[in-house]
Structure 1
Amino acid sequence: MADPNEVPIAHGGALSEAVARYGGSASEWLDLSTGISPFTLPLPEMTAECWRRLPEPAEVRRVCELAMRHYGGSVMPVAVPGTQAVIQLLPWLAPNADLTAIVSPTYSEYALSYRRVGKAVEEVHSLEAAADTQADVAVLANPNNPDGHETMRDDIFGFARAHRQRLLIVDEAFADLRQDLSMVGAAGMEPNLVVLRSFGKFFGLAGLRLGFVFAEPKLARILNERLGPWAVSGPALAIAAHAFSRIDLIGELRTRIAKANTMTRSALNMAGVSIVGEAPLFFYCEVGEGAAVRDAMAGRQVLVRAFDHSPSRIRVGLVPDELSAVRLRETLRLAGARVT
């Protein structure tokens, strides 16, 4: 059950806290603490009716159809108010499960959601190790956050088919640029497979709070019942419909992200830090003393993430332009990041 003394988990994007601690104005900071695209898809014009009315079921169905096509799904997904909201509901997909195996280290909210309702959690290093546990549920982020580790699709298929009595939850929040890893097409075909997709990270619209869950109908119904009516706002649906329909803008966004990835990699290499893991939207770096380097960089108004589970490492998001790349490189040097 919930612990009233539970300490909230620290996440990236806490810019206001950094400003309060280290000074400056938000506009002066370079926030590289998240894995969210530094570029935002151009937004459509919004009618007053979009804000005034409750979303119609037909609007939800249309967006879910577009999402199914965009992500390559074989079943209609459940539209959700961000995948974080779904993580809170994961225990209810298998309410009788006593033990959940989570491929770790990873996003901390998975374990917290199970422990909060009194479920046991076992942290393992791979799906293969999860198979050796007595867990009824396995959770995998692919690519993983924060280290970018990738699990091949054949290995995920193998686990799902060999352990049909276990629920397998795959969070593909960072898979938009690695569709070759995606299990979206199998969700619904494999009855024990649930796949989460984030809308905001790739489209640079995390504040919209929108995601999609692909699962067989019984599990989808559980989520819909737990979420209740009008879980996703009308403006979010309108923006998603616009985004999924603009193949040209999606292509431009992919190109800009690829360029930003190259600039960020170059800055890290020139600063002499070692890249030990990565995903298209972030890099995981060995710097010697992660917390110390993070704090020193924050003192120069550049925000990155450090981790208790990997104290020598930081995660760095993508820079938006060449000037920011130079700033990242020089800040790393001044912060005393250990060179390779």
Structure 2
Amino acid sequence: MTDAWTWHGGGLEAAKRHFGGGDWIDLSTGINPRPWPVAEVAFDWQRLPDPHALAQLEAVAASYFGVAAQHICAVPGTEIGLRLVGSLVGGPARHVAPGYRTHGDMIAGSMAIDSAAARNSDGDLILANPNNPDGRTLAASEVRGLLDARSGWLLIDEAFADVDPALSVAPSISDAGKLIVFRSFGKFFGLAGLRLGFVLAPKIIVAALRERLGAWPLSAAAIAIGTAAYADADWIAAAREHLPQEARALDTVLARRGFRPVGDCPLFRLIETDDAHMLFERLARRAILTRPFADRPRWLRIGLPADANALTRLEAALIDG
């Protein structure tokens, strides 16, 4: 009965309908469980989004990413950005697997390859750093090496790179290179429902994206909240400190229950067990939603619990289901 939850994390309402109500803990996503506070951000729902405000958001985000503002385009979610860019760059392409499903859909005919084969692949190459769902990371120097070794486009999904900005190759974006980087707002800032992302690319790609997105690509809420959040240096620094600490606490619980957690991204961990789908069902019966995988029956991804109580409930459920 796990098919409804193997496509993507976040199927909480489907889980409630199937397993029943209760005080659910959603660990099926890699989203920060303690989001950036939005309550004091003001915006006008009755007015169309202001283009000057959008430009300010892109400027603030560009500074945060370490890239020139001329190389950034805000999009209504990284998913849309990935698909639009895929239609622009063409192919042939390879995408590293396991990884995001969208990577395989970006460019028609893209072929799945493993991370080792990526070093010698031809054409355009799509990969995530950190990767999902295994949390594997590459040093920025390794990613730049992939760029130097190829003639096609290198497309890097950095949706989970905020916790460790040293992983990012965003500062390497230029008009002279075939490098495109995708950044997500919702994961690190814990506001996935806002649907905000960025494409960092040569100006020719940015211009083509703007033409396709039209006059008002983002809501006023996304513009106002994103601008304030990216400028909140204190919150960002605190999140970068406490998220790895909380991930280590999750690692301790998983190891104590006999699992070997995998991954270098503190927003989620991957475990391997004989029947991960059965474990998914056991946890769901205790109102804890995790992420199984249809093609990897031994894998289960577990997001970061929001607090000590959620972590305690997870450990109790792992003990006896």
Distance in 1 between the 2:38 and 2:169 partners?
29
Which residue of the partner structure matches residue 83 of structure 2? 88
- Measure the CA separation in 1 of the matches of 2:160 and 2:278: 27
Aligned to 2:284: 298
Partner of 2:306: 320
Cα distance in 1 between the residues matched to 2:143 and 2:127:
9
- Whether the 8 Å contact between 1:124 and 1:130 is mirrored in structure 2 is yes
The DSSP-based 3-state class of the residue aligned with 2:148 is helix
Instruction: Map residues 1-340 of structure 1 onto 2, 5 A cutoff.
Output: 10-25=7-22, 28-47=23-42, 50-76=44-70, 77-95=72-90, 97=91, 99-114=92-107, 119-126=108-115, 129-134=117-122, 136-163=123-150, 165-188=151-174, 190-335=176-321
Moved more, 144-153 or 186-195: 186-195
Structure 2, unmatched stretches of 5+, are none
1:229 is paired with a residue whose SS is coil
How much does 1:38 deviate? 0.3
Distance 2:174 2:297 in 1: 39
Range moving further from structure 2, 36-45 or 270-279: 270-279
SS at match of 1:276: coil
Q: Which runs of 5+ in 1 are unaligned?
A: 1-6, 336-340
Whether the 8 Å CA contact 2:291–2:302 is kept in 1: the answer is: yes
1:188 CA drift (Å): 2.3
Q: Is the 8 A contact 1:142 1:181 kept in 2?
A: yes
- How far did 1:147 drift? 0.2
Matches of 1:279 and 1:45, distance apart in 2: 30
Post-superposition CA distance 1:173-204 (Å, at most 9, x none) = 00001211101101225520000000010111
Per mean C-alpha deviation after superposition, the further-off stretch among 299-308 and 38-47 is 38-47
- If asked which structure has higher relative contact order (CA below 8 Å, sep 6+), I would say 2
Any idea what SS the aligned residue of 2:301 has? Answer: strand
Mapped partners of 2:140, 2:127: distance in 1: 12
For residue 216 of structure 1, what is the amino acid of its counterpart? P
Report which stretch shifted further, 194-203 or 305-314.
Answer: 305-314
TM-score if structure 2 supplies the norm length? 0.93
8 Å contact 1:22–1:299 — kept in the other structure?
yes
Q: CA RMSD in A?
A: 1.9
Residue type at the aligned position of 2:139: M
- Partners of 2:139 and 2:176 in 1: CA distance: 17
| Distance apart, 1:125 and its partner CA | 1.0
Q: Do 1:263 and 1:322's aligned partners in 2 also have CA atoms closer than 8 Å?
A: no
Among all aligned residue pairs of Structure 1 and Structure 2, give the percentage whose two residues are the same amino acid.
Answer: 35
* CA positional deviation for 1:253: 2.6
Structure 2 residue identity aligned to 1:10: W
Equivalent position of 1:4 in the other structure: none
